[in-house]
C-alpha cells in the first residue's frame, strides 16, 4: 500500500488536468487514508483547497463539459461545486451561461442558492447608524469599546469592557435599562 500511495502522490504532482487531480486526491484521501494536511503540504496549497478540489467530483457531467469546452473556468467549477444538490448545480450553471457571469457573480449566485440571500448590498448598515450606536453606548459607558460587523448573512454588535465583574455588570444593567425602557 505504501508503494501505491507513493505512486499516486507522484502521479498527482505530474497531473495537469484538475478533475483527474481531484480523482487522485479523493483516492489518496478516502481509500488510502492520506490526511488532507499531508496532501496540502505535498501540493503546497491550503487544506480547504484540497477539499474544494475533491468536491469537483460531485459536479454533473453537463457542468464539467462546460469546463472542457472552455465555456467556464476552473474557478467557476470550484464555486458551483459548493452547491449541495445536482439540480441546483445545473440551474446555476445555466444561469452562468445565460448571463455570462464572472466568478464573483457566480459566487453571489451560489450564496443566493445556499443561503436564500441577495447579493444586493444596498441594505448594508449606514455609517451614521454605526456612529449613532457607538455614541449611545459611549454615553452609557465611555470606557466600553463598540464594534459593528456585518456580512451578507450575519450581523454582530460587539460591546467590550475591561474591568472587574462589578463594573462590567453595571454596564449590562445600564444597557438593559436603556433597551427595555
Query: DSSP string of 108-165?
Result: HHHHHHHH---S--TTSPPHHHHHHHHHHHHHH-TT-EEEEEE-SS-EEEEEE--S-H
pLDDT for position 150: 81
Per-residue model confidence as pLDDT tens digits over 95-124: 999 999 999 999 999 998 998 876 565 677
Q: Which domain holds residue 7?
A: 1-58
Last residue of a domain, one of 80, 95, 119: 119
Asked if 82 and 39 sit in the same domain, the reply is no
In a domain, 64, yes or no: no
In a domain, 113, yes or no: yes
pLDDT for position 119: 59
Cell of 64: 464539467
pLDDT for position 122: 66
Q: State how many domains the chain has.
A: 3
Q: What are the residue ranges in the chain where pLDDT is below 50?
A: none
Element (H, E) at 167: helix 165-180
In a domain, 25, yes or no: yes
Asked if 39 and 3 sit in the same domain, the reply is yes
Amino acid at each position: 500500500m505504501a508503494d501505491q500511495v507513493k505512486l499516486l502522490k507522484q502521479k498527482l504532482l505530474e497531473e495537469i488536468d484538475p478533475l483527474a487531480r481531484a480523482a487522485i486526491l479523493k483516492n489518496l484521501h478516502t481509500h488510502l487514508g492520506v490526511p488532507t494536511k499531508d496532501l496540502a503540504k505535498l501540493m503546497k496549497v491550503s487544506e480547504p483547497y484540497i477539499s474544494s478540489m475533491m468536491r469537483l467530483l460531485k459536479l454533473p457531467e453537463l457542468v464539467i463539459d462546460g469546463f472542457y469546452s472552455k465555456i467556464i473556468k476552473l474557478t467557476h467549477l470550484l464555486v458551483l461545486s459548493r452547491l449541495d444538490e445536482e439540480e441546483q448545480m445545473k440551474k446555476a450553471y445555466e444561469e452562468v451561461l445565460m448571463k455570462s457571469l464572472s466568478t464573483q457573480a457566480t459566487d453571489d449566485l451560489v450564496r443566493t442558492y445556499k443561503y436564500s440571500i441577495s447579493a444586493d448590498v444596498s441594505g448594508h448598515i449606514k455609517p451614521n447608524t454605526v456612529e449613532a450606536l457607538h455614541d449611545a453606548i459611549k454615553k452609557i459607558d465611555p470606557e466600553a469599546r463598540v464594534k459593528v460587523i456585518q456580512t451578507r448573512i450575519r450581523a454582530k454588535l460587539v460591546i467590550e469592557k475591561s474591568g472587574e465583574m462589578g463594573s462590567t455588570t453595571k454596564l449590562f444593567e445600564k444597557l438593559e435599562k436603556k433597551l427595555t425602557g
